[in-house]
Amino acid sequence: MSDIAISTPQAQMTRTHSAVGSLRIVQTACILVIALVIVSPLFMLLIASLKDDRFQILADMGSFRAFWVSDPTFANFAEVGNFSGELAFGRYLLNSLIILALTVGSGLIVNSMAGFVLAWGSVRGRALILSLVIALYVIPQESIIMPLVIMVSRAGMTDTFAVQIVPWIASPLYIFLFYQFFAQLPKELVEAAQIDGASIFRIYRSIFLPLSLPALATVSILMGIESWNQYLWPILVTQTDYARPIAVAIATFFGQDSIYWDRAMAASVLMMLPILALYLAFQRWFVSSFVGSAVKG
Amino acid sequence: MASVTIEQVRKQYGAVPVIQDVSIDIDDGEFVTLVGPSGCGKSTLLRMLAGLEDISGGEIRIGGRVVNDIAPKERDIAMVFQSYALYPHMTVAENMGFALKLKGQDKAAIQNRVKEAADILALGPLLDRLPRQLSGGQRQRVAMGRAIVRHPQVFLFDEPLSNLDAKLRVTMRAEIKDLHQRLKTTTVYVTHDQIEAMTMADRIVVMRGGVVEQIGRPLDLYDRPVNTFVATFIGSPAMNLFNGSIVDGRFVTDDGKALPLPPGYSGGAARTYGIRPEHLAIAESGIPVTVGVVEPTGAETHLVVKLGALDTTLVIRDRVDVRPGQSVAIAPDLAKIHLFSAQGARLN
Ligand SMILES: Nc1ncnc2c1ncn2[C@@H]1O[C@H](COP(=O)(O)OP(=O)(O)OP(=O)(O)O)[C@@H](O)[C@H]1O
Ligand SMILES: [Mg+2]
C-alpha cells in the first residue's frame, strides 16, 4: 500500500520532468536560430572589416568564407579612424560623440527636472500640462521638421553643433517617463525631506535623482540611440564637415561611385561601438529593486 | 522643548470639513496621544502641526510662536512616519545626519550627534547599513534616530508601530516611552490602538469625525468617559451598554430586564446604562443570565453571557467554573455604573 502511495507521485514527477526537459530543448533551439539570424549579419560585418582586399570581400559574400578571415588586419580601422584623408571618419565619429554626450547630458537634467516638478512641485494646471505633454508626443518629428529648418536657418544656426543638440533636449516622451517614475515614489519621502529642511531642488538632487538610476539609464540609452541615429535632421542642417555626424557621413560614402567595402565595413563597426558601450554600461540599471525598501516594513 | 497650542483649528478639502474647531493645549514636555477610529482626522491634524497640510482656519502655536504660515523645516519639529520614509539610498548614519547636513553643520559635529543618537537607540553596529538591510524594528528605530539627532522642540509620531508584529510593538512602546522620559521632548503621538494610547500617554485626545470628543488623563477617560463613544472606544473588552429607561428607581432595558442604579441617583433622563466587563461579577443573587462563551486567558476569564437578547461581557479575575448554557446570576459594582442621556452624554 505504502509502496504505491510513494511511487505514484515519483512516477508523475519523472514524467513532468521529461516533458519540461524536451520543451526546454525546443525553446533553446528556437532561441539559437533567432539569435543566429540576428547576429550573423553583424558577425559578417565584423569579419569583413578585418579583411584588406575589397574585391575579396565582394567575392566572399554569399559563401561561408564571409564568416572567416585568415589574416585579420586592423588597417581599415587605422585608415577610417583618422582625422584627415578622403575616408577619414574619425572626425564624424567625434562629432557624433559630442552631439550624443551633450544631448543626453542636458536631456537627462532637463527632462528629469520637468518630470519631477510635474510630479511633486506645486504646479497649477498639472493635468492640463500633462495632457499637453502627451499630445506633443503624438506629433511625429518629421511633420514639424520643415518649419524647424526654416526657424534655425533664419536664426543663423545651420551647420553648428547647437542646432543638432538643442531641439532634441526636451522631449515629451522622457518628461512623461520621468514623471511616471517620480510619481510612484512614496509621498512620505518628500515629506520627510521637507521636514529635514530640504528645498525642492535639494529633494530632487539628493533624493530623487539617486533613486532614479533605472529611469536615468533607460532614458540615456533611448536618447543616445535616437541621437546617434539622427539622419534626416543633420542632412537638412549641416552643409560642411564641421559638425556632420557619422550616420550622414557613412551614407554619403555609400553614394559614391567606387565603394571601398573594406573601409566602409570598418567605419560601420566603429559607428556601432559607442552605442553598444552605452547599452552595456547602463543595462544593469534597467531592472532595479532598489526603491521597494523605502517604505515596505 | 516647547508647548503646543491648537486653537479652533479647522481643515476642509474643498467643501468637505475634515477637522472642525479642534482646540488642544499641550504642555511643555507632555506626551499626548491622538486616538480615534480610522478616518477621524488624526493624521490630518498631525500633518497640520508638521506643516505638511495647510490650515483652513484657527491657529497653531509652537512655543508661543504662530506657525500657520511657517514651512515645516522652520517649525523645529521632527516626525516619524508610519512607513518610516527612510531614504533608501543612504546609510543609517546618512539618514540620521541628513537634516544636520542641510543645516550646514560640519562633518565632525554631525558625526557626534549621530553617534549620540545611535547610542541612545542601540544603533551603533548598524550605522553603515542601508535601510533595505534592516529588519522592520531596526528601520523603526532608525526613523526615531533621524528624529532625535535634531533635538527638536516637538516629536510627531504617526502610527509608528503599526507595521510591526505584536510582540515588537510592545517592546517599542516601552522604548518610546522610556525615550520620552529621558529626553522630555513634547510629543504628539497618533494611534488607533487604544492600548497604546492608554499605556504611553500623559493625556489622551479622543477624536471622532473631525471633532474632539474628550481630552484627559488615561485613567480619567477610563473612569469617567463623557459620552458613549469614548466609553466604548477606551477599554478592552469594551464597556457593556444597555438601552432603556428608568422606571421606579431601576433601569429597565428595552427588552424588560431590570438593572440596579447607583445609590442616591435621582436623574430620570438616563437612556443608556454602561458597565465595564470587570465591574460585573457572578453573584448569589442578581440579574439572571445564560452563559454563552467562556474564554480563559490564564490570568483572567472572559465570559459572554446573554442578558435577555443582549451579549454582555464579564471579565473575572479568578478562575470560574461555569459552562456554556448554564444559568447564573450577575451583579454590577454599583459605584462603577455609567449613565448616559439619549444623546449619549454622561449624566452621573
Ligand atoms: N487629500 C485629501 N482630500 C480629501 N479628503 C482627504 C484627503 N486626505 C484625507 N482626507 C479625508 O480626511 C479624513 C481624515 O483623514 P486622516 O488621514 O486624517 O484620518 P486618520 O484619522 O489618520 O485615519 P487612519 O487611522 O486611517 O490613518 C478622511 O475622511 C479622509 O478621507
Ligand atoms: Mg492616519
DSSP sequence for A53-79: -HHHHHHHTTSGGGG--SS---HHHHH
| Domain final residue pick, A54, A73, A92 | A73
Q: Is the pLDDT of residue A3 over 50?
A: no
Residues B139, A188 contacting (CB under 8 angstroms): no
Ligand 1 atom with the shortest distance to the CA of B45: 18
Residue B346 counted as domain residue: no
Domain identity same for A43 and A100: no
Q: Are B299 and B230 in contact (CB under 8 A)?
A: no
Q: What is the pLDDT of residues A91-112, one digit of tens each?
A: 898 999 999 999 999 999 999 9
**Measured at the alpha carbon of residue A132, what is the angle toward residues A130 and A138, in degrees to the nearest 5?**
110
Question: What is the share, in percent, of chain B residues with pLDDT greater than 90?
Answer: 85
What are the tens digits of pLDDT across the range B203-245? 999 999 999 999 999 999 999 999 999 999 999 899 999 999 9
Domain count, chain A: 2
Q: B22-28: long-range contacts at Cβ-Cβ below 8 A with a sequence spacing of 24 or more?
A: B22/B58, B22/B207, B22/B210, B22/B211, B22/B212, B23/B58, B23/B212, B24/B205, B24/B212, B24/B215, B26/B186, B26/B188, B26/B203, B27/B3, B27/B186, B28/B1, B28/B2, B28/B3, B28/B186
Q: Are residues A125 and A14 in the same domain?
A: no
**Whether residues B58 and B200 fall in one domain:** yes
- Distance between CA atoms of B180 and B156, rounded to whole angstroms? 12
Domain boundary (A16, A45, A73) is at A73
In this predicted structure, the answer to whether residue A1 has a pLDDT above a threshold of 70 is no
More confident residue, B60 or A143: B60
pLDDT at position B255 is: 87
| pLDDT value, residue A291 | 42
Contact B272, B243 (CB under 8 A): yes
Provide, as residue numbers in chain B, all residues whose Cβ is less than 8 Å from the Cβ of A198: 73, 98, 102
Residue closest via CA to ligand 1's atom 8 equals B44
Backbone angles phi, psi at B325, to 5 degrees: 95, -20
Mean pLDDT within A101-126 = 94
- pLDDT at residue A289, rounded to an integer: 36
pLDDT band for position B306 (cuts 50, 70, 90): very high
Query: Cβ contacts (< 8 Å) between B73 and chain A: which residues?
Result: 194-198
Residue-averaged pLDDT of chain B: 93
* ipTM metric: 0.86
pLDDT at B316 over 90: yes
| pLDDT grade for A12, boundaries at 50, 70 and 90 | low
Q: Per the structure, how many domains does chain B have?
A: 2
Domain co-membership, A51 together with A179:
no
What would the pLDDT profile of A173-211 be if each residue is shown by its tens digit? 999 999 999 999 999 999 999 999 999 999 999 999 999
CA distance A147 to chain B (A): 45
B270 shares its domain with B295: yes
User: Is residue B181 situated within a structural domain?
Assistant: yes
Lowest-pLDDT range, A29-33, A64-68, A197-201?
A: A64-68
The answer on B262 and B215 residing in a single domain is: no
Is the pLDDT at A8 greater than 60? The verdict is no
Model confidence pLDDT, tens digit, residues B155-213? 999 999 988 888 889 998 999 999 999 999 999 999 999 999 999 999 999 999 999 99
Say what the pLDDT of residue A296 is.
39
Closest CA to B287 of B260, B311, B261: B260
Q: What pLDDT does A15 receive?
A: 56
- Same domain for B25 and B111, yes or no, is yes
For residues B169 and B248, state if they share a domain: no
Do B139 and B111 have their domain in common? yes
Contact state of B84 with A290 under an 8 Å Cβ cutoff: no
Residues B263 and B200 in one domain: no
Percent of residues in chain A assigned helix, strand, coil, to nearest 5: 75, 0, 25
Nearest to B154 by CA among B24, B28, B33: B28
Same domain, residue pair B181 and B118:
yes
Judged against a pLDDT cut of 50, whether residue A262 lies above it is answered with yes
A223 and A242 assigned to the same domain: yes
Q: Is A198 on the interface with B (CB under 8 A)?
A: yes
Domain that holds residue B299: 240-340
pLDDT higher than 60, residue A26: yes
Atom 29 of ligand 1: nearest residue by CA position: B39
Q: Are residues A141 and A270 both part of a single domain? A: yes
Q: Which numbered ligand comes closest to the C-alpha of B35?
A: 1
Most confident of B217-226, B261-270, B311-320: B217-226
Question: What pLDDT does A286 receive?
Answer: 56
Q: Do B86 and A294 make contact, defined as CB atoms within 8 angstroms?
A: yes
* Together in a domain, B187 and B303: no
> DSSP 3-state assignment of B185?
coil
Q: Which three cell numbers stand for residue B29?
A: 514636555
DSSP-derived 3-state class of residue B183? helix
Last residue of a domain, one of A73, A98, A133: A73
pLDDT class for A294, splitting at 50, 70, 90? Answer: very low
pLDDT recorded at residue B321: 87
Q: Write out the residue range of the structural domain in which residue A116 sits.
A: 76-296
Q: Residue A236 has what pLDDT?
A: 92
Dist CA A60 CA A48 (whole Å): 9
Nearest ligand 1 atom to alpha carbon B210: 14
Judged against a pLDDT cut of 60, whether residue A134 lies above it is answered with yes
Reply yes or no on whether the pLDDT at A87 is more than 80. Answer: no
Residues B278, B137 within the same domain = no
- Which pLDDT belongs to residue A256? 67
Q: CB of A196 within 8 Å of any CB in chain B?
A: yes
Domain end marker among B203, B233, B263: B233
Give the domain CATH number at A225: 1.10.3720.10
Could you tell me if B72 lies within 8 Å of chain A, comparing CB atoms?
Answer: yes
- The answer to the question of residue B345 being in a domain is no
Does B275 share its domain with B307? Answer: yes
* Helix orientation angle between A246-254 and A261-282, rounded to the nearest 10 degrees: 150
pTM value is: 0.82
The pLDDT of residue B209 is 94
Same-domain pairing of B146 and B273: no
The answer on A254 and A170 residing in a single domain is yes
Residue B285 clears pLDDT 90, i.e. is over it: no
- Long-range pairs of B114-122 with CB within 8 A, sequence gap ≥ 24: B114/B145, B114/B149, B116/B149, B117/B145, B117/B148, B117/B149, B118/B92, B118/B93, B118/B145, B120/B145, B120/B148, B120/B179, B120/B182, B121/B145, B121/B148, B121/B179
CATH at B326: 2.40.50.140
The grid coordinates listed for B248 are: 421606579
Give the residue from A97, A105, A101 showing the smallest Cα distance to A270. Answer: A97
Look at residue B74 in the predicted model and tell me its pLDDT. 93
Q: Based on the domain organization, do A134 and A259 belong to the same domain?
A: yes
